[in-house]
Amino acid sequence: MKTDYDIGRVAKMSGITSRTLRHYDDIGLLTPAWTGPDGRRHYGHTELLRLQHILVLRELGTGLDRIASIVDSDDPSTTIALLRDHLAGLTAQRERYARLAATVARTIDSLERGQPMTTAHIFDGFDHERYEPEARERWADDAVDRANASWQGLGEDGKRRHMRTDREIVEALGAAVRVGFAADSAEVQDIVAKHHAWLSEIWIPDAAAYRSLTQMYVDDERFRAHYDEVARGAALLLRDGAAEFVRIRL
Amino acid sequence: MKTDYDIGRVAKMSGITSRTLRHYDDIGLLTPAWTGPDGRRHYGHTELLRLQHILVLRELGTGLDRIASIVDSDDPSTTIALLRDHLAGLTAQRERYARLAATVARTIDSLERGQPMTTAHIFDGFDHERYEPEARERWADDAVDRANASWQGLGEDGKRRHMRTDREIVEALGAAVRVGFAADSAEVQDIVAKHHAWLSEIWIPDAAAYRSLTQMYVDDERFRAHYDEVARGAALLLRDGAAEFVRIRL
DNA sequence: TGTAGAAGTTCACGCCGCGTCAACATCAAG
DNA sequence: CTTGATGTTGACGCGGCGTGAACTTCTACA
């Protein structure tokens, strides 16, 4: 036969290791055209094409099981559907790494300017996993104590920074209200995330606590006045945004 | 004690599972403040703070062993060095996913236009990154028309995404300037790549066009102001980075 | 106070995609 | 005939936990 490549040749041609080829044989992803009496694997042209296909999909980050189903079904629309699915995942990954990189860069930046690793800064772009929507009333009990303790522990400098961040949030919210952003828009969600992170500096609220806190911002005159200072409706927007935030992120 | 949280409370507060907390105990990353006579783990405020620190770094994609060394050493310069290392990895990942996403998108596109997944097509941007110079020449001709058409074609949603990416680039550049990355550093090159990709959304510039565009960013006040918003020198860095980018990649 | 069930504990295996020995067989070249 | 390159199977390792199993202990309610 003309097209007879042993495992080493295939490995060199494709740039993968022979181990990988053996692995693909083991899991039935790529079976050699024939196996010699000595157990050596021999690949033909068909297998090379299949391997190419596999490698492309692998390079795209697809899992081997999914690759198998794609390669096995020659149906283009199946391939397209699967790829489209996969594309969404890739884009999400890319954005995730972009955010992480930006956050790390910012963290480095602030560290180099002598600032400690404050949680507020650090929690930018932080992905909180979900909490269970269970009753956790007791947490709220000593929450105030702990919040006070944290606040005391911040020091003069920390307190001032904290206040400044608060100001930024109020202004961002005001701008959002004026522009007319919805509570579930990315822009408002960013602000809410920032607010949550800011809050976490002195107190780590769970989902329920965070929602009731933002509700309180609406109900309590003094708080509402504080948040509505730049634009009326900011406290409401924060509350609604927080509800959405909790639903999605906590 | 006031600050006494059992493993379940800590899990709910932080959003991670109790299993993870036990794991962290096992590997010595986060030891409970004390363990009851019945073997139950109890955490205090100190541990919560440490956990926060850990989770942030974890969210940044850092490995647990590296996290341990970062959290254990309170030395900021160590932290910076480790983070800088990590940043390089993150940017590499980001770039990888960006390339993958682009290739997948192209593959989907060609499949939808009825073309089979030929090897020639498939290997675009895969192993051998080939650019056909003649095709690029033709692009430059009606580049402006094309840019306008593309922008219109993006739709409201696309436009907004485009704007947000722009913002990310500006911020990443700002951070890079502050941190002091060189124009030919991997980090800056990554940002430039992103900028080029971003630009390619509405206009695919060739090498010369890309260089003169970034030069224009420096010369034109309005553009410079835009890129220098986060940190002065960003436009310059982008131009120099683009020159390097063109030299190596285009 | 008895009892149920919620929540804690310690093993210990599973996952994904191979890398990396180990121990041995077989091939091509000098 | 040796030597070294290359092939084979088999098995463990990794990272960061998920997910049971089997057992103990705390908490709430009748």
- Which residues, in sequence order, are bridge partners of residue B6? B42
Domain extents in chain B: 5-72, 82-130, 131-250
Q: Write down the pTM of the prediction.
A: 0.48
Tokens (6 digits) for A1: 């036969």
CATH topology of domain B131-250: Globin-like (1.10.490)
Binning pLDDT at 50, 70 and 90, where does residue A139 land? very low
Nucleotides of C under 7 A from a protein CB: 7-10, 16-20, 25-27
* B205 conformational bin, left if phi > 0, alpha if psi -120 to 50, beta if neither: beta
Asked if residues B213 and B202 have their Cβ atoms less than 8 Å apart, the reply is no
pLDDT at A189: 80
Tokens (6 digits) for A139: 């947490």
Evaluate if residue A210 carries a pLDDT over 60: yes
Nearest nt (C1') from A12 Cα: D6
Asked if residues A249 and A128 have their Cβ atoms less than 8 Å apart, the reply is yes
Across the interface, do B127 and A79 touch by the CB < 8 Å criterion?
A: no
* Exposed / middle / buried, residue B141 (Cβ in 10 Å: 0-12, 13-18, 19+): exposed
Least CB–CB distance from B12: residue in A53, A112, A132: A132
Which of A37-51, A112-126, B214-228 has the weakest average pLDDT? Answer: A112-126
Q: Is the CB of A136 under 7 A from strand C?
A: no
Domain spanning A5-72, CATH architecture? Orthogonal Bundle (1.10)
Phi, psi angles (nearest 5°) of residue A204: -100, 100
Average pLDDT of every residue of chain A: 69
pLDDT at B26: 92
Q: Is the CB of A130 under 7 A from strand C?
A: no
- Which residues, in sequence order, are bridge partners of residue A41? A35
Nearest nt (C1') from A40 Cα: D7
Q: Provide the residue-wise pLDDT of chain B in tens; the chain has 250 residues.
A: 457 889 998 887 777 889 999 999 999 999 999 998 889 999 987 888 788 778 767 766 678 888 888 888 766 666 666 666 666 666 666 666 666 666 666 566 666 666 554 443 333 333 322 222 222 222 233 333 334 344 445 545 555 555 566 777 787 787 777 666 788 877 788 888 888 877 766 556 677 768 877 876 777 665 677 788 777 889 999 999 998 888 877 7
Asked whether the domain spanning A122-249 has the same topology as the one spanning A5-72, the reply is no
CA distance B121 to chain A (A): 11
How far apart are the C-alpha atoms of B185 and B60, rounded to whole Å? 21
Q: Is the CB of B41 under 7 A from strand C?
A: yes
Domain spanning A122-249, CATH architecture? Orthogonal Bundle (1.10)
Across the interface, do A108 and B187 touch by the CB < 8 Å criterion?
A: no
- Which residues, in sequence order, are bridge partners of residue B43? B5
Task: Catalogue the E-assigned strands of A92-214.
Answer: none
- Residue B198: name the closest of B149, B239, B150 by CA: B150
Order of all β-strands in the sheet with B5-6? B5-6, B41-43, B34-35
How far apart are the C-alpha atoms of B139 and B131, rounded to whole Å? 13
Q: Is the CB of B9 under 7 A from strand D?
A: no
